[in-house]
Amino acid sequence: MTQSSFRGSLGIRHLVCGSCNGCEHEMNALNNAYYDITRDGWDIVASPRHADVITVTGPMTVAMRAAAEQTVDAVPLPRVVVAIGDCAAGVGPWAGAPEAGEGAGVELEAAIFVHGCPPTPDAIRSGLEEAGTILSRGDVARAVKDQKRER
């Protein structure tokens, strides 16, 4: 019922799970005057409670795992996890490192994977647009399943 409104007003919460901070530089760029996602009605929000989309970066670390899961759980349904960067997809430089996990996006069941090391702000923007579409269609679960199958 509320579906079509999602695309135009995404609340985005960012979650860092062992990233090198490179992906964060590009996430931050979305807020600068050149990319300015607020023009699209999107907003990077401070609380998971205000979010529709959770962007996650990094390979996941042993130390972050519990806090990351709690943060995602705190986001109301329907929600979409978007994995930003190769690390979050489990194919970055730290895949297999002793204290790293399988990729934040893999572990937190991302519906969308934006590749790159780091991805460009434009690529991240496309990923977020896709997240809006999935939310509007209301088929997050299917998108997650498709991603798992592809892996």
Partner 1 sequence: MSGPSHELDVSAFERGVSAECESGVPLGAYASSDAVHYLFLGARGAFALERPHADGRAATAFSATFPLFSWDEREMRDEWNVRFADLPDPRPLRGQDGRMPDALLATGGGLMHMVVGPVHAGIIEPGRFTFSSGGETVVHLDAQLSYSHRGVERHLCGTDALEAAAGVARICGSCSASRSLAYAQALEQLAGIELDPGVELARLVVVELERVYNHLADLAASAAGAGWGPGFARGMALKERAMRACRLGGGHRLLFDAIVPGGVGPSTLREPSELRATLRVLASSAEHYFAALFGNPSVVARWERAGVVSRKMARAFGAVGPASRASGGKIDVRAFAPYGAYRRIRVDAATAASGDAFARCCVKRDELRGSFRAIDEALAQLGDARPSAPKMPRLGPGAAIGVVEGPRGAETVAVHVDDRGRLSRLHVISASYRNWPIVAAAMDGNIVPDFPLVNKSFNLCYACADR
CA-CA distances (angstroms) from residue 75 to 11, 48, 79, 81?
10, 5, 7, 10
Interaction between residue 127 and ligand SF4 (CB under 6 A): no
> Least Å distance between CB 8 and partner 1?
22
Q: Sign of torsion, CA 136 141 145 147?
A: positive
By rule CB under 6 A, what string of x and - marks binding of each residue 73-112 to ligand SF4?
------------xxx----xx-------------------
Interaction between residue 20 and partner 1 (CB under 8 A): yes
> Least Å distance between CB 88 and ligand SF4?
7
Residues 6 or more apart in contact with residue 114 via CB below 8 angstroms: 82, 83, 84, 85, 123, 124, 126, 127
**In this chain, which of 58, 101, 105, 132 binds ligand SF4, going by CB under 6 A?**
58
Binding site for partner 1 (CB under 8 A): 14-29, 31-34, 44, 46-47, 58-59, 61-68, 71, 92-94, 96-100, 117-118, 120
